[in-house]
């Protein structure tokens, strides 16, 4: 293995893989270091609603063939309140759509194209450490099969998630973090049954939020709001289906096809942003820099917009010898991130039951929903944010 490369990418999730492919197509050498095994990475269950910008980047990376074939374009979504469903027409309001295609599938496709082009990825790279990021000669070390390895580089891209080493490498005196932890979680079930509706159904109910989603025409993903202290083991499949049906409108409850779950988990909800997203030669992207609650379907899409800005900036550096894009990266990315954080926070506030809500809070929530359903302007604002603000 070469002891020098141009960009070291830490993390082989979709953001790291997408960045790697965009740089590879521009003739920039990269290596990806991943702490976990390939099978572990592919076993992670994540959401899969893609904005048009993310779809375009995946296409640009050469990994869009299966997505075009198997992905499900959605022209809108439904919000159920008071037992009545109201449709938000994305295409009619904005001219744009979203694509439902699982994050695991995106990761798989990007892995396949990276392997096909021979670009190096090191799985099970342990004890990854980033050195000398404030100099012109950063380097990264790791352990593989008991042997310590080191590589020099021009830049390091930290795409290694919330718990990764990249953000921890940023100097504490320059890093600011902003966080909101929500007092509930989502209990999610994956089942090999056709979805109850052709589009997603978001549910605001007195028993709590629910979501009817999907991964394909034959695999569905359902969620119910639950307490953070609840255990997955306490939720049998029958209990889950009974609870979900109690929150759905009459028609959806009757048409819901239930079955044995193939995956069941509880995800806590949080909003988190770290800034700046650059120090020296180290750049953060994706969950390493920000987390959004899943309500607005922004997690993977924000990672994609980070990668768009960062790949453009790195290509500009090597092709034009200009660092303008690199210098502006953090500011550009954060401006879009905070807008998505606001939207995800707003959707979460709008649709969930908060345990400390007063009667006044609940009346405001009802008024907000009734206004949304009666106002084309309000629906357009929701649709614009959901399909994705421009990069």
Among left, alpha and beta (phi > 0; psi -120 to 50; other), residue 27 is left
pLDDT reported for residue 45? 67
Single pTM value for the model: 0.94
Residue 372 backbone zone (phi > 0: left; psi -120 to 50: alpha; other: beta): alpha
Q: Which pLDDT value is given to residue 42?
A: 87
Catalytically active residues are 74, 202, 294, 298, 386
Tell me which CATH homologous superfamily contains domain 7-76+93-178+270-348.
FAD/NAD(P)-binding domain (3.50.50.60)
Measured CA to CA, the distance from residue 315 to residue 307 in angstroms comes to 12
Kindly list the averaged pLDDT for each block of 10 residues, start to end, along the chain of length 391.
88 97 98 94 82 97 96 97 98 97 94 96 97 97 96 98 97 97 97 97 97 94 96 97 98 98 95 98 98 94 98 98 98 98 98 95 97 98 97 92
pLDDT for the residue numbered 46: 72
Cα dihedral sign, 35-41-47-49? positive
321: left (phi over 0), alpha (psi -120 to 50) or beta: left
Could you state, in order of their start, the residue ranges of all structural domains in the chain? 7-76+93-178+270-348, 183-266+357-383
Taking the alpha carbons at both ends of the chain, their separation in whole angstroms is: 36
Q: Tell me: domain 183-266+357-383, CATH 3.30.9.10, correct?
A: yes
């Amino acid at each position: 293995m070469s002891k020098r490369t141009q960009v070291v990418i830490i993390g082989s999730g979709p953001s790291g893989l997408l960045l790697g492919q965009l740089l590879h197509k521009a003739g920039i050498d990269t290596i990806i270091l991943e702490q976990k095994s390939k099978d572990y990475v592919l076993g992670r269950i994540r959401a899969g609603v893609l904005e048009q910008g993310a779809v375009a980047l995946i296409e640009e990376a050469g990994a869009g063939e299966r997505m075009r074939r198997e992905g499900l374009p959605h022209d809108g979504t439904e919000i159920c309140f008071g037992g009545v469903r109201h449709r938000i027409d994305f295409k009619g309001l904005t001219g744009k759509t979203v694509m439902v295609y699982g994050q695991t599938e995106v990761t798989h496709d990007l892995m396949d194209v990276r392997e096909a082009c021979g670009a190096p990825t090191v799985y099970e790279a342990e004890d990854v450490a980033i050195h000398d990021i404030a100099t012109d000669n950063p380097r990264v070390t790791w352990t593989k099969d008991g042997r310590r390895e080191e590589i020099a580089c021009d830049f390091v891209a930290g795409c290694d998630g919330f718990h990764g080493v990249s953000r921890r490498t940023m100097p504490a005196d320059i890093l600011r973090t902003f966080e909101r932890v929500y007092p509930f979680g989502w209990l999610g079930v994956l089942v090999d049954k056709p979805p109850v509706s052709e589009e997603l159904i978001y549910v605001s109910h007195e028993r709590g939020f629910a979501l009817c989603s999907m991964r394909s025409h034959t695999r569905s993903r359902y969620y119910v709001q639950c307490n953070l202290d609840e255990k997955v083991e306490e939720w049998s499949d029958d209990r889950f289906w009974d609870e979900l049906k109690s929150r759905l409108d009459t028609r959806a409850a009757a048409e819901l096809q239930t079955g044995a779950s193939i995956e069941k988990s509880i995800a806590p909800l949080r909003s988190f942003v770290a800034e700046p997203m650059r120090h020296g030669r180290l750049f953060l992207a994706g969950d390493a820099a920000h987390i959004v609650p899943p309500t607005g379907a922004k997690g993977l899409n924000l990672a994609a917009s980070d990668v768009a800005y960062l790949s453009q900036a790195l290509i500009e550096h090597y092709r034009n010898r200009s660092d303008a894009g690199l210098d502006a990266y953090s500011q550009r990315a954060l401006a879009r991130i905070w807008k998505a954080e606001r939207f995800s926070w707003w959707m979460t506030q709008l649709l969930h039951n908060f345990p400390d809500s007063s009667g006044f809070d609940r009346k405001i929530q009802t008024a907000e929903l009734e206004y949304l359903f009666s106002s084309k302007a309000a629906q357009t604002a929701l649709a614009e944010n959901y399909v994705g603000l421009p990069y």
